[in-house]
Amino acid sequence: MAFKTRFSLGVALAMALGACLYADTARAQTAAPPLRCLIVGGGPDKDYNQVAIESNVRYVQRLLPAGTKRRILFTNGSLTAANVQYEDRRGRERFRPTLLKNIDGPARYATFQKTFEGLAADPKGPLLLYFTGHGSPDDDGSFANNAYDMWGNDLLTVDTLSDALDAAPTSSTPTVLVMAQCFSGAFADTMFRAASAKGPALRPNFCGFFASISVRPAAGCTPEVNEANYHDFTSYFFGALSGRDRLGKPVTSADYDHDGRVGMNEAFAYSLIHDISIDTPVATSDVFVRRYVKTPEPTIFRTPYSDVLKWSTPAQAAALEGLSKQLELRGELRLMTAYRTSKQRGEETPDEDAPEEEDVLTARWIRIVRLAKTVVLAHTLTTGPNESLKTQYASLIQSEAANPIAPKIP
C-alpha cells in the first residue's frame, strides 16, 4: 500500500513537473519579440558635440533589455576621431575620441534612412527611436518643420522623419519616439500620417515624448563631465522609466497609480515635476487634443482647480500638485494666475542675458499651464460626441502608458 502511494505521488510529481516544463516552453514560444532600438546622437560638428550627448547615448543604451536589436549612429561614425567636446578640470575646452564601445554608423541622414529601413523591415517587437543632440527651428519661422541637426550639417526635419515613418511597413507593434533636442516638440506632429500635408489620420501604435515645446530650446548639451550635475529631460524621463538614474541610484516615486510599474506617461509627469532646467516637455497626447479641441484659453483657465484635478490621471494630478507647490500657487483660481504669469513671461526662446534661474522658473510656469490645458481639453474631448476622436485618443493614451524598457519597477 505504501509502495502504491509513493508510486502515485511520484507520478503526480512527474506530471506536475512535465506540465511546468510544457508551460515554460509554451511561454518561451509565445514570448514577445525583442525590442528594436535606434539611437542617434551627436552634434552637427565637433564644436557642438558636447560630452553630455555622448553620455545620453551611453545611458539609454545601458538601460535597454537583454536581446534588444540595437543600432547606434553617432557623430561621424568613428571610434578614434577626437570629436567629443569636454571641459578639463581647469575649465578648458578639450576634444577626445568617444567612449562608446561600438557605433553602427555616422549620424548622417542617408545612414539614418538606411538603418531605420533595416530595423523597420522586420516589424516584430516594439521600436524605440531616441535622438539626442541639437535642434533648430524651421526657416519660415512657423516652428512647424523644425529639424534635428545631424553630423555634417545634415538635417532631419519633421517632414522627412514623417516620410520615413510613412514608408515603413504597417505594423501592429508599438513605435515610441523620444527626442531630447531644442525645438523638438514640433516632431509630435509625426503622430499624424503625412505630417507634411497635415493629414488627419493618426499613426497606429505610435507615441512620442519631447524635451521642449516647438518654440523653445532644451537643456542637456553641456561639456561638463560630471553626470551628477546633469539636469535634463533624458535624465529624468529615462530615470523614472527604468527605475535607475544616471548614477545607478533608484528612482521609486514615479508609480503614481501604484500598479507596480511605471508607464511613459508617468515618467513624463515625473519629468514635469523634477526636471530643474529650461525644459518644457511635450507628449503626443498634448498635441492631439490641441489639434481637435479649440476651447478658448480664457475659458480653459477659468476652470476651478478642483475640477481639473478631478479630471486628471494620477500622474497628471501629481504633476499639477508638484508644480503648484513649487510655484506657490493656491486656491481654485490658481490656473488663471499661472496663465497670466506665463503670458507675461512669454514662451519664446529665452533671453541669453537673463539669469538661468529665471529661465528655469519660466519653464515651470509653461509646464503647469500646458498640463492644465491638456487636462481640460482631454475632458472636453472624452465627454463630447465625436466617437472616432475618442477612440483615437484612447489608443494614444494606451500607447503612452506602456514601458518599452522596464515593464515593472525593479
Specify the CATH number for the domain of residue 220. Answer: 3.40.50
Do 185 and 308 belong to one domain? no
Residue 274 lies in a domain: no
User: In terms of Cα–Cα distance, which of 290, 264, 263, 268 is closest to 279?
Assistant: 268
What is the rounded distance in angstroms from the CA atom of residue 55 to the CA atom of residue 51?
Answer: 6
Q: Is residue 194 very low, low, confident or very high in pLDDT (cuts 50, 70, 90)?
A: low
What is the rounded distance in angstroms from the CA atom of residue 245 to the CA atom of residue 202?
Answer: 33
410 pLDDT more than 60? no
Return the pLDDT at 100: 97
Domain count, the chain: 2
What is the rounded distance in angstroms from the CA atom of residue 112 to the CA atom of residue 122?
Answer: 16
Do 163 and 312 belong to one domain? no
CA angle 344, 346, 351 (to 5 degrees): 115
Residue 9 lies in a domain: no
Expressed in percent and rounded to 5, the helix, strand and coil fractions of the chain are 45, 15, 40
What is the rounded distance in angstroms from the CA atom of residue 267 to the CA atom of residue 153?
Answer: 32
What is the rounded distance in angstroms from the CA atom of residue 197 to the CA atom of residue 214?
Answer: 18
Classify residue 136 by burial, with Cβ atoms within 10 Å: 0-12, 13-18, 19+: middle
Given 230, 245, 271, the domain boundary residue is 230
Return the pLDDT at 173: 80
Return the pLDDT at 269: 98
Do 215 and 319 belong to one domain? no
Given 179, 212, 230, the domain boundary residue is 230
Return the pLDDT at 245: 94
Q: Give the whole-number percent of the chain exceeding pLDDT 90.
A: 79
Residue 201 lies in a domain: yes
Return the pLDDT at 169: 80
Q: Is residue 5 very low, low, confident or very high in pLDDT (cuts 50, 70, 90)?
A: very low
Mean pLDDT of 101-110: 97
Residue 1 lies in a domain: no
User: Quick one: which H or E segment has residue 127?
Assistant: strand 127-136
**Is there a contact between 220 and 54 (Cβ–Cβ < 8 Å)?**
no
What is the rounded distance in angstroms from the CA atom of residue 367 to the CA atom of residue 362?
Answer: 9
Do 193 and 311 belong to one domain? no
Helix H segments across 294-386? 297-301, 305-311, 314-326, 334-345, 356-382
What is the rounded distance in angstroms from the CA atom of residue 209 to the CA atom of residue 187?
Answer: 9
Return the pLDDT at 195: 52
pLDDT tens track for 75-92: 999 999 999 999 999 999
Do 189 and 294 belong to one domain? no
Q: Is residue 171 very low, low, confident or very high in pLDDT (cuts 50, 70, 90)?
A: low
pLDDT tens track for 28-71: 334 678 999 999 999 999 999 999 999 999 999 999 999 999 99
Do 215 and 322 belong to one domain? no
Mean pLDDT of 102-114: 97
Question: Pick the residue with more confidence: 122 or 150?
Answer: 150
Strand-pairing partners, residue 179, are 131, 210
**Residue 55: which domain range?**
36-230
Return the pLDDT at 123: 76
Residue 163 lies in a domain: yes
Average pLDDT of every residue of the chain: 89
User: Quick one: which H or E segment has residue 115?
Assistant: helix 109-120
Which DSSP state fits 32?
A: P
